[in-house]
Structure 1
Amino acid sequence: EWLTISAVSDESGQVTHYIGGFTDLSQQKQAEEHIQHLMYYDALTNLPNRTLFRDRFQQCMVRTRRSNDHTAFIHLDLDRFIKVNDTLGHAVGDQLLLQVGQRLSKNIRPMDFVARLGGDDFAIAVPALMTRAEVEVFLEKIIDVFAEPFCIAKREIFLVPSMGAVMYPDDASSYDELACYAETALQYAKRLGESYQFYNSSMNTDADERLNMESALRRALERDEFRLHYQPQVDVSTGDIIGVEALLRWDRCDEGMVMPGRFIPLLEDTGLIIPVGEWVLRRACQDLQTWLSEGGRPVPVAVNLSPRQFRNRDLVRMIDKVLEESGTDPRLLELEITESSVMDDPEFAMQTLQACHERGIRIAIDDFGTGYSSLSYLKRFPLDVLKIDRSFVADVPEDDDDAAIIDTIIAMAHRLNLRVIAEGVETAAQRDFLREHGCDWVQGYYFGRPMPLVDLLPCLQKRANRPARGGAVKLQ
């Protein structure tokens, strides 16, 4: 309580008496304490926040210097957590974060401490260590923590963490450097698809190169540096070209041709895949019109859709716009998607695929056999083509296991009225094996490397007078 005393005077100004009053400050005190708590603790999980973690870690650094041992700074985030939020709602997402915080807190030593940095990012301090091997044991333990599902509203949800680890004092001498390096290691782990990575100085070079490449990619569209090359898809029985796949290339002004494996993941990570993907579709349709006008066969052009593109709610609208503006028959467009793209959000995938199929667009599952490979989705979704991943083709006919897998995929696909195309065919023996086992179409260096449109045109023109069969479309 707060006591206030006021003097009461008469008409002459003499104090005659005093009045005291008590004010209940309990609510004000509670409010102040709550504000003070929020300055240092996360409102959702009640874990230390970034400010308190920094303060505690710096105290830990002092003790580490005195004891001549090591302290690990671990930055953890949850893979695909945004997808959970978007699909199940933020209320479920908040409950998940709360349970993650509780589970982490229960599985660390009394001397360790965990904080929520914001979003789905957590930090863990692990002091009193002597070797990196001890940190690896700890990281494996954290992975095990996520092995069991999280239960929210009678729903089981599995989460996968990614972690970056940095050691004090070996890797850095200040908190800010440690925090930066831990995040660098985390992002490195995510790019490699691994559960965790320890920081090393070479990652800084990689990070610099990544930033430079990202800046160059953002300018590449404006500078017209992207190119499309086309790889023929061939009827294995007749040798006719029944389609082509459009493959993105980057002719960087200061470096020359950049391999797709270096820049396509970066396009996906940064979201640049959306405008670049639209450019690919638009250019492929324009090129298709070019070869038709010059007497080429009316065969479909296959365009790859990345997971991020496929999740874009404006995808179908964008496709309609490109088809209309280019004057392209939808039957001459094939969209290639991966198994994981379909299974990320099956309900949305069904709506998107049905909309495309109703327009006459052909749908292919790319790299089949490397993802979910679930018969249920093959039956549920409106699909036309399965593409057998090149990893199964590489060692046939010598490898009996791969041969059996290919045989099974072909038989299964045909029972579901799907066509099968095998990727990565490089030898006559592979072609013969696939033909003997009933594969419909093939694609690979044996039949032609990816080539620019100017080199593709003669291949399509010299077969233009043959009767349309297989993948060719009869245009009215």
Structure 2
Amino acid sequence: MDPDKKNPVLPGRFIPVLENSGHITKLDTFVNRTVREMIRKRKQEGKKVLPVAVNLSRMDLMDKDIMGRIWENVNDKKIPVSMFHYELTESAYADITESGSKFLTGLQKKGTKILIDDFGSGISSFSTVRDYEFDIIKLDMGFVQKIGTSKKTDNILIALIDLAHSLDMKVIAEGVETKEQVEFLRKNNCDYFQGFYYAKPMPQEEFEALLDREL
């Protein structure tokens, strides 16, 4: 939290700092533990749960301790393995080692979903989906926020959705903020939407209250 404004500090501000300082694995460890505890607690209380996607950094996929903790998540008999999704950016995948790639494949065989984040933002987008069988792609918000600005932009977005579906992948659109964007994406068979149109970042307590109201 920002001590002066009492508002959440968004990931775009602090994630690069943690990555550059080498502390991103500590945050990812905390997030993995928190998600696991939240899902387990809700299951024990008889409350409904939805899959939660946790980010993996390039450093995570080179850290045996972190990978071991993730295996603990998917091997937890009290939690359906399908509740865990893991997402990584194109840049993280570009630097992945052979052991990191095998680790992701092992997670998929267990029943988790692997997502590629910010798809379309890097020069390696197509080679990334060619070289690894992701379950879900998340379209970069740069495409979504330009919906309706030009026919070319709209056609590129439609083509990306069709490409993903032809490769048996689901599609999440990031950065959805307007009704017009939602209508366009629905019309063109996008599977899921993420953005301020639905909700802004919120504390865990508010998120769980939202789940209780909506599920």
For the pair 1:441 / 2:186, whether they are aligned, the reply is no
Task: Write the deviation string for residues 279-310 of structure 1: whole angstroms up to 9, x where unpaired.
Answer: 11110121223333445433100111122223
Counterpart of 1:134?
A: none
| Contact 1:367/1:388 (<8 A) preserved | yes
Counterpart of 2:145?
A: 394
More helix by share: 2
Pairwise mapping of residues 263-342 of structure 1 onto structure 2 (< 5 A)?
263-324=14-75, 327-342=78-93
Q: Which amino acid aligns with 1:303?
A: V
SS in 1 for 2:208: helix
Counterpart of 1:451?
A: 202
For the pair 1:351 / 2:139, whether they are aligned, the reply is no
- How far the C-alpha of 1:428 sits from its partner, in A, is 0.6
**Among 121, 126, 134, the residue aligned to 1:375:** 126
Point out which structure has higher relative CO (alpha carbons under 8 A, 6+ apart): 2
SS in 2 for 1:307: coil
CA distance in 2, matches of 1:461, 1:313: 36
SS in 2 for 1:448: coil
TM-score w.r.t. length of structure 1: 0.42
Aligned length: 214
Gaps in structure 1 of 5+ consecutive residues: 1-250, 465-476
Indicate the RMSD between aligned Cα atoms, in angstroms.
Answer: 2.4
More strand by share: 1
Percent identity reads 35
Q: Residues 435, 309 of structure 1: CA spacing in aligned structure 2 closer, same or farther, 3 A cutoff?
A: same
- How far the C-alpha of 1:409 sits from its partner, in A, is 0.8
Task: Write the deviation string for residues 250-284 of structure 1: whole angstroms up to 9, x where unpaired.
Answer: x2668744343332212112221112210111101
- How far the C-alpha of 1:362 sits from its partner, in A, is 0.8
Task: Write the deviation string for residues 128-179 of structure 1: whole angstroms up to 9, x where unpaired.
Answer: xxxxxxxxxxxxxxxxxxxxxxxxxxxxxxxxxxxxxxxxxxxxxxxxxxxx
CA distance in 1, matches of 2:207, 2:83: 16
For the pair 1:412 / 2:131, whether they are aligned, the reply is no
Gaps in structure 2 of 5+ consecutive residues: none
Task: Write the deviation string for residues 70-125 of structure 1: whole angstroms up to 9, x where unpaired.
Answer: xxxxxxxxxxxxxxxxxxxxxxxxxxxxxxxxxxxxxxxxxxxxxxxxxxxxxxxx
Moved beyond 6 Å, runs of 4+: none
Q: Which amino acid aligns with 1:430?
A: Q
| Contact 2:61/2:67 (<8 A) preserved | no
TM-score w.r.t. length of structure 2: 0.87
Task: Write the deviation string for residues 160-210 of structure 1: whole angstroms up to 9, x where unpaired.
Answer: xxxxxxxxxxxxxxxxxxxxxxxxxxxxxxxxxxxxxxxxxxxxxxxxxxx
- How far the C-alpha of 1:460 sits from its partner, in A, is 2.2
Counterpart of 2:117?
A: 366
| Contact 1:342/1:349 (<8 A) preserved | no
CA distance in 1, matches of 2:146, 2:4: 38
